[in-house]
Amino acid sequence: MKNNFNKSKVLTGCTTSLVLLSTMMTSQDVLAHGYLDVPPSRALLCQKGDNKNCGGAQYEPQSTGETFKGFPNGVGGAPLQGPVDGKIASGGHALFSALDAQSATRWHLTEIKDRNIDFQWRYTAVHPATKHEYFITHDGWNPNEALKRASFDSTPFCTVEGANQVPVGGAKHNCVIPDSKSGHHVILAVWTVGDTDNAFYDPADVNILAEAALPGGWQPVGSITPATPLLMGDKVKARAFSASGESTEYSVEIRIDNAEVGKPENWSFKLAEAINNAHSVIRAGIRDNDGNITPVEGTNRLYAQKESGVTRYEVQLDMQEDAGASMEISSLQPEYVLDKGRVSMVFAAQTNRRMNLEATLFDEKNKQVGVVSKTVAEGSTNLNLDVRSAPGAHTLTLVGTTEDGRTTRQDTQAVTLTGEGAGIEYDFVFPEGISDYTAGTKVLQPKTDEVFECKPFPASGYCKQYGPTSNGFEPGVGASWQSAWDKL
């Protein structure tokens, strides 16, 4: 059964912006997939407003730079596949051509203060990854010329194999920027997709302020940054990697044998000490004015000699489940009464650990009709769930995860909603499920308590346009909402 809302149907006229419609129809030809989030790509900074005059890129940073894979040399012997020189940032798509402009002052520069860098991607429609590669402009490049293959070093300074697997929860890649690179550069992040002929080319404009290699040949290759308390029996491992994969001979693991060592600053010190005891060509710690590298209780930097072949380290936590952690729903009434389709459900959660809780109510068709999240301390905590639904059987699911993320508990209970439903059916409470909005989708606008229906194609494309820079189509609220919605 769909949700209902008691309003009479009102037909509202609308005007159509030919310019906006043209932009929307053009963008439908480009599939939205993902972008470099850290450091922010050129297109993402367009959306954030740091870059100006970006054309369509400011609305779709996830769609830019998609074209044939094979940069810089081609695939299977075919020459010069990939983006066309001069159109690398746009991928050759006219909607994003503004990204191809290039000068020493055209784009906002992100400061890079650590050569050991974690690149992070955000995906909106994920695909299997063959690999991720990171190219950088060559020493002495001309920032006032259009970007082309010759602008970049011919080989990537970092490659992360994807094994044709779908990245889960985004992707994070630890890489090291070469010592020779300083000042203004462009990093070209390339995500090669496994199930299409394409790749995504995402440039990031950076100002590299990081120090070069230390005296004595030591290269920065990572850090031990402690944040999570560990329990007895947990393990923590510093995994070493070279250009060809993991270097197990330089990987070091320790086991937490008491609660004191499990404190973040202490296990960081113990791991750094173990690394220094195990290898002479790897060092962990903080360097002093004389260049000595000594472990500290806190964050320790990792350094390697070139002969080791180590280019980066990853710190991996192997945490055991907290078997004693518990959580349950308490004080839940068997029945709650709706008033015009709405009710505030108050109940309690009982926990014996500090936890991040999420309570979700589903109707009889397993549609989400209410959700609330809260971080709670040990003990009993009241939760208030704002519900919009229709009378009938419902299911309340409470999921709790301990603050360190090692343990999850779940409790599910049935509850009945009675009373008065609403009159007009709706599919979502805006902006929930926005990626699924199509022509005919009905949404409840909680800001006005009105129901709106998404217009037929092609205007239906506006219904998904919502965010910091595109909320003009928000139903009933945005300045151009009538281009996308009819009020019911």
H/E element, 154: none
> Per the structure, how many domains does the chain have?
4
Same domain, 57 and 92: yes
Pairwise pLDDT comparison (25 vs 375), residue with the higher score: 375
> Both 362 and 457 in a single domain?
no
The span from the CA of 51 to the CA of 56, in Å, is 12
State how far the Cα of 243 lies from the Cα of 312, in Å rounded to an integer. 9
Domain finish residue from 263, 289, 318: 318
Q: According to the model, what pLDDT value does residue 41 have?
A: 94
- In 3D space, the residue among 465, 463, 446, 466 whose CA is nearest the CA of residue 454 turns out to be 463
Residue 397 lies in a domain: yes
Residue 249 is predicted with a pLDDT of 95
Residue 213: inside a domain, yes or no? no
Non-local (6+) Cβ contacts of 40 within 8 A are 48, 50, 110, 204
Could you tell me if residue 86 is left (phi over 0), alpha (psi between -120 and 50 degrees) or otherwise beta? left
Shared domain check, 177 and 74: yes
The whole-angstrom separation of Cα 427 and Cα 361 is 15
- Boundary (domain end) residue, out of 158, 181, 208: 208
CATH assignment at residue 289: 3.30.70.2150
Q: Give domain status of residue 23, yes or no.
A: no
Among residues of the chain, what percentage have pLDDT more than 90? Answer: 46
Residue keyed to tokens 């009373």: 419
pLDDT tens digits along 247-266: 999 999 999 999 899 999 99
What tokens appear for 298 in the block?
């806190």
Quote the Cα angle for 129-133-134, to 5°: 145
Say what the pLDDT of residue 126 is.
74
Q: Give yes or no: residues 169 and 308 share one domain.
A: no
Residue 367 clears pLDDT 90, i.e. is over it: no
Does a structural domain hold residue 25?
A: no
**What percent of the chain lies above the pLDDT cut of 70?**
89
* Burial of 242 (C-beta count, 10 Å sphere; 0-12/13-18/19+): middle
The enclosing H or E element of 421 equals: none
* Digit-coded pLDDT (tens) for 136-151: 999 889 999 999 999 9
Q: Tell whether 100 and 61 lie within a shared domain.
A: yes
Same domain, 226 and 127: no
Based on the domain organization, do 431 and 459 belong to the same domain? yes
Whether residue 285 lies inside any domain: the answer is: yes
Instruction: With a cut of 80, say whether residue 470 has pLDDT above it.
Output: no
Same-domain check for residues 204 and 152: yes
Say which residues have a Cβ less than 8 Å from residue 55's Cβ, sequence separation at least 6. Answer: 95, 96, 97, 98, 99
Judged by DSSP in three states, 181 sits in: coil
Q: Per-residue pLDDT tens for 295-333?
A: 999 889 899 998 999 999 999 999 988 889 999 999 999
Contacts of residue 474, Cβ cutoff 8 Å, sequence gap at least 6: 430, 431, 445, 466, 481
Say if residue 127 is exposed, middle or buried (CB neighbours under 10 Å; 0-12, 13-18, 19+).
Answer: buried
Q: What residues contact residue 338 under an 8 Å CB cut-off, 6+ apart?
A: 387, 389, 390, 391, 417, 418, 419, 420, 421
Q: What is the pLDDT of residue 32?
A: 40
* Residue 250, token pair as written in the block: 């330089």
Same domain? 41 vs 163: yes
Give residue-wise pLDDT tens across range 207-228: 887 766 566 788 888 889 887 8
In angstroms, rounded to a whole number, what is the distance separating the alpha carbons of residues 318 and 406?
9
Residue where a domain terminates, one of 396, 422, 448: 422
373 close to 422: Cβ distance less than 8 angstroms:
no
Residue 240 sits in which domain range?
A: 219-318
DSSP 8-state code for residue 80:
T
Q: Return the pLDDT at 416.
A: 96
Does residue 26 fall inside a structural domain? no
Does residue 446 have a cis bond before it (omega within 30 degrees)? no
pLDDT in tens, 44-96: 999 998 999 898 888 888 888 888 888 887 544 445 577 889 999 998 888 88
Q: State the average pLDDT over residues 329-348.
A: 93
Q: What is the pLDDT of residues 5-52, one digit of tens each?
A: 443 333 333 333 333 333 333 333 334 478 899 999 999 999 998 999
What single DSSP character describes residue 224? E
Q: Is 469 left (phi over 0), alpha (psi -120 to 50) or beta?
A: alpha
The structure's pTM equals: 0.46
Q: Are residues 304 and 250 in the same domain?
A: yes
Residue 14: its pLDDT value, please?
A: 37
Structural domain contains residue 223: yes
* Burial state string for 316-350 with b = 16 or more CB within 10 A and e = fewer than 16: ebebeeeeebebbbeebeeebebeebbbebebebb
Q: Do 54 and 186 share a domain, yes or no?
A: yes
CATH number at residue 107: 2.70.50.50
In tens, the pLDDT along 395-436 reads 999 999 998 888 999 999 999 999 987 767 788 888 888 888
**455: helix, coil or strand?**
coil
| Helix-strand-coil split of the chain, %, nearest 5 | 15, 40, 45
Looking at the domain assignment, is residue 24 inside a domain? no
Residue 360's CATH number: 2.60.40.2550
Confidence label for 206 from pLDDT (cuts 50, 70 and 90): very high
Q: Both 44 and 135 in a single domain?
A: yes
pLDDT digits over 111-137, tens only? 888 888 999 988 887 778 888 999 999
